[in-house]
Structure 1
Amino acid sequence: MPLLNESVREAARRSVLCWLATVDGDGQPNVSPKEIWAIADDAHVVVAHIASPVSALNIGQQPLVCLSFVDVFVQKGFKLKGAAHEVCADEPDFARWATPLLAMVGQRFVIRSVLVIRVNSVTPILAPSYRFYPEETIEALQADAAMRAYGVQPRT
């Protein structure tokens, strides 16, 4: 079974942002939100470098990364760990990795490069209620509570 299976893909589709954690050459952490990202295949996630100079620089110094995403309404998601490398726009593989990202941005942003992450571990992220109150915690109730907390009206 692939690491980036259908449940991971579905959770990714429901998540607006992901958070990419990198580390610089001195071991200092950096966490940055990423809006344009996608699961590219069964083993890779791609992130558009639109305004990510620190993330790209850190990956050049230390390729180990962690990317996480959560559906804020059902309060579930995944933490993906792996090794990343940067593919610049003038490199032959750029089109391969950038294709799903270019479809997302259209003409809105320029993708400077693609941060390609080869995922080696996937861990679920769950709100504590799912663990401590499993019999009474269901996604629909979590989503209702989150919508009330955020002042969001469901679509009709």
Structure 2
Amino acid sequence: MKTIDDDMRLIVDSARLSFVATVCPDGSPNLSPKGSMRVYDDEHIAFMDIASPNTVANLERDPRIEINSIDFFRRRGYRFKGTAEFREPGDPVYEWLHQWLLDLNGPGYPAHRVILVRVERVLPILSPAYTFGDAAEDDLRQAWARIYLGDLDEER
């Protein structure tokens, strides 16, 4: 069964930063940004444990997880709910993501293990500009690119 479609892959790839929610021992939420999020196949998303002690501890105790990937320029994304498991060095999933990480960041980048998430439910995230403002995606993308990139130009 195909849970993750091409548009979801596009959003995860273009987001560059996704957010992972786990449950702390006291029941409170833990939210952590992840820059290594990748779609592994039609049913799984993976990210690397680079510096994630709280996320890892929470998932070892309770494997429930939610991932939010949002393309800030398009003002839309997805909520992926599922169950996490760990993959160690030598596992094909680990080797695949580790190679991507090294290609991106160079040798010596820390990579302890991979968290592989079986996606069980996906929900869209849409800006109210789509639902209440009848905005077109391309118009939003251009406007928000000017906002984000304009801020960069002003800082220089």
TM-score, normalised on structure 1? 0.87
Q: Which residue of 1 aligns with 2:154?
A: none
2:38 paired with 1:38: yes
Tell me the residue number matched to 2:147. Answer: 149
Query: CA–CA distance in 2 between the matches of 1:75 and 1:8?
Result: 14
> Which residue type is aligned with residue 104 of structure 1?
W
Is residue 105 of structure 1 aligned with residue 106 of structure 2?
A: no
Is 2:127 the partner of 1:130? Answer: no
Residues 80 and 122, structure 1, Cα contact 8 Å, conserved in 2: yes
**Residue 87 of structure 2 contacts residue 94 of structure 2 at CA under 8 Å; is this kept in 1?**
no
CA shift digits 1:62-91 (9 cap, x unpaired): 1111001111101111110001122233xx
Paired letter, 1:26: D
Alpha-carbon distance, 1:132 to partner: 0.5
CA positional deviation for 1:99 = 3.2
How far apart are the structure 1 equivalents of 2:150 and 2:87?
38
Q: Does 1:67 align with 2:63?
A: no
TM-score when normalising by structure 2: 0.87
Q: Report the Cα offset of residue 113 of structure 1.
A: 0.8
What's the CA shift for 1:108? 4.8
The one-character-per-residue Cα deviations of 1:111-141 (angstroms, maximum 9, x if unpaired) are 101111111001111111101122xx11111
Give the aligned partner of residue 13 of structure 2: 13
How far did 1:152 drift? 4.3
Name stretches of at least 5 consecutive residues in structure 1 with no aligned partner. Answer: none
Give the letter for the 1:53 counterpart: P
Structure 1, 23-32 or 42-51: larger mean CA deviation: 23-32
Q: Distance in 1 between matches of 2:112 and 2:30?
A: 20
Which AA in structure 2 matches 1:112? H
Q: What is the aligned-residue RMSD (CA, Å)?
A: 1.6
Aligned residues: percent identity?
29
Q: Is the 8 A contact 2:21 2:66 kept in 1?
A: yes
The count of residues paired between Structure 1 and Structure 2 equals 147
Work out the CA distance in 2 between the residues paired with 1:25 and 1:87.
23
- Aligned equivalents of 1:88 and 1:25: distance in 2? 24
- Residues of 2 paired with 1:143 and 1:48: CA distance? 29
